[in-house]
Amino acid sequence: MATLRLGDTAPDFTAQTTQGDIKFHEWLGTSWGILFSHPADFTPVCTTELGTVANYFPEFQKRDTKVIALSVDGLESHHQWIKDINETQNTTVNFPIIADENKEIATLYDMLHPNASDKFTVRSVFVIGPDKKVKLTLTYPASTGRNFDELLRVIDSLQLTANYSVATPANWKEGEDVVIAPSIKDEDITAKFPKGHTPIKPYLRMTPQPNK
């Protein structure tokens, strides 16, 4: 299938997971979601990633964001791997891992890349909004672990910009000034952004984060 693009509806699927069977869209409900894939169980970098997500779980909960992992190995293998993750990363894996032995979901989400491997999924990440649309995609090489601080930052930005007529500048972090959307006319800024604004260029107008 064609590569998923931003704004596409995230494909629905049913799956076996370490926390029971799910129907993806139903499982997401009205929450945001992160679906991220792993080449295989018992891989070193992914062990650190899953441990990190478990440790960051309260941060995802604060943002009403559900996380779910995928690997092409089976449930029994997943459960054994979770024991290793909990032990080595000093954590408790508290989110589901999909068993995708027939690679149906990996194929659906274009996670299989023959140039990298014809049988392993690459490290793909999909951030999915409450409307079930794909909001962000990232693909990492097998040798590079993901940065989950960046994923939290992106979710903060996506949730902010979904509700206000703003965009977030380079390296923005929660609480910092944001860019007023070009669609907002100068004469409407005062009413829309009562905290004030700083015009730098006609097309670059900054304002304090509106929901802080």
Q: Which residues contact 205 (CB under 8 A, 6 or more apart)?
A: 179, 180, 186, 189, 197, 198, 199
Task: Give the pLDDT mean for 63-78.
Answer: 96
46 is catalytic: yes
| 3-class SS string, 127-166 | EECCCCEEEEEEEECCCCCCCHHHHHHHHHHHHHHHHCCE
174-184: pLDDT as tens digits: 999 999 999 99
Q: Which of 46, 67, 68, 82 is catalytic?
A: 46
Structure tokens at 121: 């999924």
For residue 25, CA distances in Å to 32, 79, 99, 179 come to: 11, 24, 17, 32
pLDDT band at 3 (very low <50, low <70, confident <90, very high): confident
Nearest to 16 by CA among 71, 92, 90, 86: 71
Does residue 195 surpass a pLDDT of 90?
A: yes
- What is the structure's pLDDT at 2? 59
Q: What percentage of the chain has pLDDT greater than the value 70?
A: 94
Strand, helix or coil for residue 52:
helix
pLDDT band at 113 (very low <50, low <70, confident <90, very high): low
- What is the structure's pLDDT at 61? 97
Strand, helix or coil for residue 85:
helix
Strand, helix or coil for residue 71:
strand
Does residue 154 surpass a pLDDT of 70?
A: yes
Burial of 163 (0-12, 13-18, 19+ CB in 10 A): exposed
- What is the structure's pLDDT at 120? 59
Domains in the chain (CATH in brackets) are 14-146 (3.40.30.10), 164-207 (3.30.1020.10)
DSSP structural state of residue 60: H
